[in-house]
Structure 1
Amino acid sequence: MTTLRIGTRGSALALTQTGTVADSLRTRTGVDTELVTITTDGDRSNEPLSRAGGAGLFTGALRDALLDGRCDVVVHSLKDLPTAPHPDLVVAAIPKRADARDALCARDGLTVDTLPAGARVGTGSPRRVAQLRARRPDLEVVDIRGNVDTRLGLVADGALDAVILAAAGLSRLSRTDVVTEFLDLDEWPTAPGQGALAVEVRRGEEQLVKALDHSSTRAVVDAERAVLALLEAGCSAPVGAHALIDSDLLFLSARVYSADGATVLTASHAAYWPDRDAPVEIAERAARELLDAGAADLMGPSA
């Protein structure tokens, strides 16, 4: 193989993320790379995420391109990737994770707590909607879609008072200057895998990108995503999870929200690290606790 063809969505953020992966591959393996732009269903649709089809919305077309040979590798935002394993594809590398937090971008330097009653806050995420309603039921939450610049433009032109975006995406686009508050993960857990990238290849070709894999990142995101899978929740369900490694322990905290934010269930567990079974072990314990507390009923049709 003379040139490694890397499939990506065509947004500025996706191209930046994939470009970083391509640069790392060239540095670590010496292989030449070429980006192949693929349009996904999520790029064509303006439907709210809760109604647009969920799993595979931003990843299905990339996977199709990999399977039919139009590219050799694809790069996903891990939080968009379905949790069920694919029979013919494998996530061969998860590079070191970026900032997993959400970020508020508001007018006049406002924060979640200082936004005035009735302020209009935009997000396309059912999880973020539930979290906002739980913390500030007096705000008006507006469903939005679009790329980072489109969303920030809604604040700049006065259509919204604030939007909530992933800190990692803003950092990768060098736009953290617009952040008025980074939301603490202990109080505001984000989507399982947020801030991490998934580098996927055809099964049996893992060595193409294996050099990019970051073991501790893989462990924490495996734990987060295993909770999502065990809850049988889609990537648009109101579920937040955050895992971290501290010394010789792997910690996981997961929360399930009702759509209106009125009810919140939390489970937190730890296991010894680097026990290879630790991510699944703590995810199973957390999921069992959440389901016993009524998480399936809470998530409703999102599950």
Structure 2
Amino acid sequence: MVQKTAAANSGIVFAIIGVVLFSAKAVLVKVAYTYEVDHLTLLLFRMVFALPFYLLIAFSKKPLHSKEINYKDYLWVVFFGFIGYYLASLFDFMGLQYIKAGLERIILFIYPTMVVVLSWLIFRKSISKIQIIAIIITYLGVILTFWNEEPMKDGSVILGGILIFFSALTYASYLVGSGWLIPKFGVMQFTSYAMIVSTVCIVLHYSMVKGLQLSTYPKEVYYLGIAMAIFSTLIPSFLVSAAIKRLGAPTFSLFGSLGPVSTIILAFFFLDERITVLQIIGMLIVIGGVTLVSRQKA
């Protein structure tokens, strides 16, 4: 009993720290953009600095059920690494050039609703009436958060929102499609393989657009790249996996609502981003809708 309580308590701590660290990524990206670095270079720094750690994890031991894995499974890993970490990250970094960090996190937070819809479209999994209502409420909440951003006067806000939406959609597609592969490879092994694939895609993308020579940036850009790689990518991925193991996915999903809140708080202190009362109401509506969808799904 004592061991279960200790495991649950540590799981809660891991969940909170993991979610907050993941959420800090948007703030780090916005800070880096003040040094006039482009999204592709910044994404390259994030992935390349994290790569050695994922290589170590990937090749330190064999996949969980290596005998059940065939070459087609590895091709699927390449595909899901492409859409789940390369495309999702690319859209995210592009979108953050146009909208606030707090708004970015609110849009990304709706990915569980996309998982439910995609599961219905692809696998014909049923959607309850409560889920449908919750999904509609969630998207109304997102619209409300943009209400005071004057998108009609500044088209860049709409563009940024669309890019972040595609980031959430590609990540949701990754979650829906890769679910059957994770039990074969193991969570950390599969994640490491997917991150390696993503890094290769980023390097190829960068080399085709900018060539093989890196531009010189202030040292702060490299520090921020390392911080994103370690504190907003690597460490939280371990913490979240550990939290899910101790708490279970349904319980962990309840801590996801900390993401938008923590991003908004961090953005207020480090980016001087202000959020209106209407946007706070919209955020609460989104959190409530996503939480209801997640609980129904669980």
Question: TM-score surpassing 0.5?
Answer: no
Structure with the largest fraction of helix: 2
Q: TM-score, normalised by structure 2?
A: 0.28
| Higher RCO structure (Cα 8 Å, ≥6 apart) | 2
